[in-house]
Amino acid sequence: MDDEKNPVRFGILGCAEIARKVCRAIDLSPNSILHAISSRSTGKAKQFAIKNSLSELVKVYGSYEEVLDDSSVDAVYIPLPTSLHLKWAVLAAEKKKHVLLEKPTALDVGELDRILEACECNGVQFMDGSMWYHHPRTARMKELLSDPNLFGEVRMIYSSSSFVPPPEFFENNIRTKADLDGFGALGDAGWYCIGAILWAMNYKLPTTVTALPATTLNSNGVIMSTTVSIHWEQEGTVATFYCSFLAHETMDVSVLGSKGSFHVEDLIIPYEESSASFNFTSGASFVDLHLGWNMTEQEVRIHNELPQEALMVKEFSRLVKGIKDSRMGPDTRWGGISRTSQVVLDAVKASVDSGSKTVYI
């Protein structure tokens, strides 16, 4: 009830396609309300409002500054190109706006640190826009993964994230431009693989990162496809991932433990909104003569009342409300999670740029 009486008021900087999904998520989230949208021109922002049937109460601004200057705005969602994150996230924090920032978070970890510092100094919440962390399926997988009897130690992680965009994407999309989203497929699809791998390792930074010699760059030098190996020396754990704009839709994560393993095929965007599943096995062995297994994989299905992006907004707003009510300070865990992903992302990029040399972290 209290949630619905005093919702966190969001402003959005930019009218990217992903902003449409987050508008809806803000609407679905019981503790959040969309207060303002903006674009570099009022016309484009108005078009966005019409296309998405936004309420007439939503303010429509022709500049990002106006959102930051609107004292009714508690928090901003920033889906701008990565190259603009530093400027606008820092400005937002300085204006005491809580920051929900689209991924990849920054051009490098140095930039991200400046953003996180600005948020901390100004007492505002930071979170990146990775939605899958907030799906209850993720929590259930983590529970199993953390069970020493069912799963044991993590030995190997594999992830892939790929899709084939339409031809015009390769001409026009910001993810193909070196000066806008210069990480290309690595920053877009690869961000999720890196996040999933680090999630499985409790966000422990790896020892080394190596881009395998099979990277495809476009004519701007932007990564269209790459395969990466990651190594934790102390644990002897290894991960590989493939991220690509050149292969059919996949969102796979497999985690192999000493006693169990699981596999999920739709991590980033579940096949359906209302439930999602993963396959889990533990203690599998072969029957006599190796004629088969003593079990088949178990499908674990989790139902969710709200879609994962609404759960993300809800969690973000819960933290914001805690700060507003002076009950608590910002939760720096989310910034820490983003930071580990950014560190590994930077290392992959450095490895690609060096012609697949191993990068030590």
What Å distances lie between residue 136 and 48, 123, 304, 309, CA to CA?
Answer: 31, 28, 7, 12
Stretch 211-230: interaction string toward its own copies, x if CB under 8 A: -xxx-x--------x-x-x-
Per CB under 8 A, 162 contacts its own copies: yes
Pick between residue 248 and residue 327 the one whose CB is nearest to its own copies. Answer: 248
Nearer to its own copies, 125 or 308 (CB): 308
With CB under 8 A as the contact rule, the residue among 82, 138, 210, 351 that binds its own copies is 210
Asked if 208 touches its own copies (CB under 8 A), the answer is yes
Could you identify the residue written with the tokens 């570099």?
A: 40
Q: Least Å distance between CB 332 and its own copies?
A: 29
Return the structure tokens found at 132.
């899958």
Does 147 interact with its own copies (rule: CB under 8 A)?
Answer: no
Are 119 and 334 in contact, with CB atoms under 8 Å apart?
no
Asked if 286 touches its own copies (CB under 8 A), the answer is: yes
State the DSSP string of 47-60: HHHHHTT--TTSEE
293 forms part of the interface with its own copies (CB under 8 A) = yes
For the record, the structure tokens of 196 come out as: 């999933």
Q: Which phi and psi (to 5°) does residue 292 adopt?
A: 175, -170
When asked if residue 69 is in the footprint of its own copies (CB under 8 A), the reply is: no
Q: Are strands 237-244 and 223-232 parallel, antiparallel or unpaired?
A: antiparallel
Nearest to 335 by CA among 124, 94, 68, 76: 124
Strand partners, 281: 261
Residues forming contacts to its own copies in the complex (CB under 8 A) are 18, 20-21, 24, 152, 155-156, 158, 160, 162-164, 208, 210, 212-214, 216, 225, 227, 229, 231, 236-238, 240, 242, 244, 246-250, 252, 254, 256-261, 263, 265-266, 269-273, 279, 281-286, 289-293, 295-297, 307, 358
